[in-house]
Chains A and B, each alone.
Chain A
Amino acid sequence: MDLYLPIAEMSVNALLIVLLGGGVGFLSGMFGIGGGFLTTPLLIFYGIPPAIAVASSATQITGSSVSGALSYYQRGQVDLKMGSVLVAGGMFGSVIGSFLFRWLQSLGQIDVTIGIIYVVFLGTVGGLMLRESLGLWLRRRRGDDLPARPRRHHPLIAGLPMRMRFPRSGVYISPLAPFFVGMLTGVLTVIMGIGGGFIMVPAMLYVLGMAAGVVVGTSLFQIVFVTAIATVLHASQSQTVDIVLAVLLLLGGVVGAQFGAHAAQKLPAERLRLFLSLLVLAVAIRLAVGLTWTPPELFSIQTAF
């Protein structure tokens, strides 16, 4: 079924976009991730102009994260104090990101920058996750006891001034550290159309040393606000939010997430983490190939600059 997108100014197969949203939704339901790092490259691969793919993907993430954030909140698994600092950082970061985006666009280097950031971040996170889950699996096979992870923030963080107590997260650290983490994800949200959970969650656990129980809820809380701000920024600065595209993705994503969550219950958690790390690495490798292999088309057109 062909549907004309009013902002992207092109006709797409609506069913295919819903299926794309559904597929990503399935994976996000299964692994508990936002899936923006899959949606944006897939949309660009389909032929949606990159700026519109990035902006509309951010809008979709707002919708797909809100119900999760609410249910974590109702179960008391959101640290509002920590969340507010992360959102403040995210706001600051998204404004920086939107300037950075336009500057890179005027230089003609936005696509290659997005590509390199994806490869570096996904490659690092995927590699770390793979190492951890493989190590866990090997140790379990040998029948060793699992060592309890010492939960402590990174030594660098301890040196920052103005330490505060975050009772819910069980840490006593400077708010500058979570502010910086929020800022980094805010920049990435605006530039790449991702929630940034795959960077924020490890950072909260291993850098800030937050209690595991509030990490996912608090990161969803931050993602809802920062992707909403990113949507408004994109809409008012470059008119790149295609609401029809975002709604199509959401429709598929909602259904897909149901099946994904169902499938996740049948698989052991370590197996899931292993699959997720392989998926993340596969996307990183695919993008690295795209950056380094001779492209079929050397020219590109940019209007409005």
Chain B
Amino acid sequence: MRALLLLLVLLAAPLRAAEPRLVTDLSQSRIDISYRFAGAELLIFGAIQYPGGIAPADPPGIAVVLRGPADPLTVRQKERVAGVWMNTQALRFESAPGFYAVSTTAPIRDLLDERNAAIYEIGLRHLQLSPATAADPDTTRRFQDGLVNLRSREGLFVEQPYGVNITDRVLYRARIPIPSAVPVGNYRVEIYLIGKGEVRARSTAPVIIDKTGFERDIYLFAHDHALLYGMSAVAIALALGWLAGMLRRRVA
């Protein structure tokens, strides 16, 4: 038994070595949201390590994904009821990422087949949102498209078909734009090396997006001491209003 295991390991070692490896680094592993935050750009770069150091002749396919924390949400659709547009249908999704960006060397359908794209969730069409409301596939698709359209317009869902630059078939580089309305939380960068329609190698790196300084203090105060925060807000408003009244009378 032990001999068999040893044999397997010995056999597997050269096989593993024959697969290329991805080395990745980020411009920053933490994005701080301060009072001046108006969006940011994350630079993701690295190199492909080929076994033996020889790059194949055809250019490699790379997909870079930045994924934010997933939360449940409800998508609603408006319909005209007695002349007024109001929400009628709703569909709940259990896990929709608050942010999702994918950057690739070529359009995703040219790199991967549907099955593989769905397995690795590469591409906005292939997100697994786990619909919680029972509905026929067409309806689910319609609501999913509605969600993707809305978030794309807000810059929270991004697809860049030619966003990854390759240098000398070894170095890769992608820039992911991050809007100011980005949700805070733990993010993950995933880099996939794709060849012949399959994922050959992958690497991941964590990114933290969080508020800092004054913005963070206010946010925590509002959430941890909600009642006190409300009363402070009233006190600030009253003080400002009263001060303004005093100044007004002084001027008049």
Contacts and interface: CB of A to CB of B under 8 A. Distances in A.
Interface of A is mostly: helix
Nearest to A2: B38
A112 interface: yes
B248 A258 contact: yes
A43 B105 CA distance: 40
A241 B229 contact: yes
Given A62-B238, A67-B248, A299-B77, A6 B219 contact: yes
A302 B218 contact: no
A71 B248 CA distance: 11
A87 interface: no
B87 A246 contact: no
Given A4-B37, A10-B180, A11-B37, A300 B87 contact: yes
Contact of A291 (B72, B85, B216): B85
A67 B242 contact: yes
B171 to A, nearest CB: 33
A164 interface: no
B86 to A, nearest CB: 4
Given A7-B218, A66-B242, A109 B34 contact: no
B84 to A, nearest CB: 5
Contacts of A115: 84
A4 B233 contact: no
B205 interface: no
Nearest to B92: A305
Contacts of B150: 297, 299-301
A252 B209 CA distance: 32
Contacts of B113: none
A70 B240 contact: no
B75 A62 contact: no
A108 to B, nearest CB: 4
Interface string A41-79: 000000000000000000110111111101100000000
B248 A302 contact: no
Interface stretch (A173-181, A202-210, A226-234): A226-234
A171 interface: no
B85 A235 contact: no
A258 B249 CA distance: 11
Contact of B86 (A4, A109, A236, A241): A109
Contacts of A298: 77-79, 146
Contacts of A9: 181, 183-184
A254 B245 CA distance: 9
A247 interface: yes
Contact of B245 (A2, A66, A239): A66
A284 to B, nearest CB: 14
Given A232-B231, A236-B230, A299-B147, A66 B241 contact: yes
B36 A4 contact: yes
A153 to B, nearest CB: 32
Contacts of B73: 301-305
Interface residues of A, number: 59
Interface in B39-76: 39, 71-76
Given A10-B180, A11-B39, A299-B150, A4 B240 contact: no
A104 to B, nearest CB: 11
B140 to A, nearest CB: 13
A6 B241 contact: no
B78 A295 contact: yes
B241 A302 contact: no
A134 interface: no
Interface of B: 33-39, 71-80, 83-87, 90, 143, 146-147, 149-151, 180-181, 183-184, 211, 214-216, 218-219, 222-223, 226-227, 229-234, 236-238, 240-242, 244-246, 248-249, 251
22 contacts: A4-B180, A6-B214, A6-B219, A10-B180, A10-B181, A62-B234, A66-B238, A111-B87, A115-B84, A224-B238, A228-B238, A231-B234, A231-B237, A239-B223, A254-B244, A292-B85, A299-B75, A299-B77, A299-B146, A300-B76, A300-B87, A304-B73
Given A294-B85, A304-B73, 17 more contacts: A4-B35, A7-B218, A63-B244, A64-B241, A109-B86, A231-B230, A231-B234, A231-B237, A235-B229, A235-B233, A239-B229, A241-B230, A246-B237, A292-B84, A295-B85, A299-B78, A299-B143
Interface of A: 2-4, 6-7, 9-11, 59-60, 62-68, 70-71, 108-109, 111-112, 115-116, 224, 228, 231-237, 239, 241, 243-244, 246-247, 250-251, 254, 257-258, 291-295, 297-305
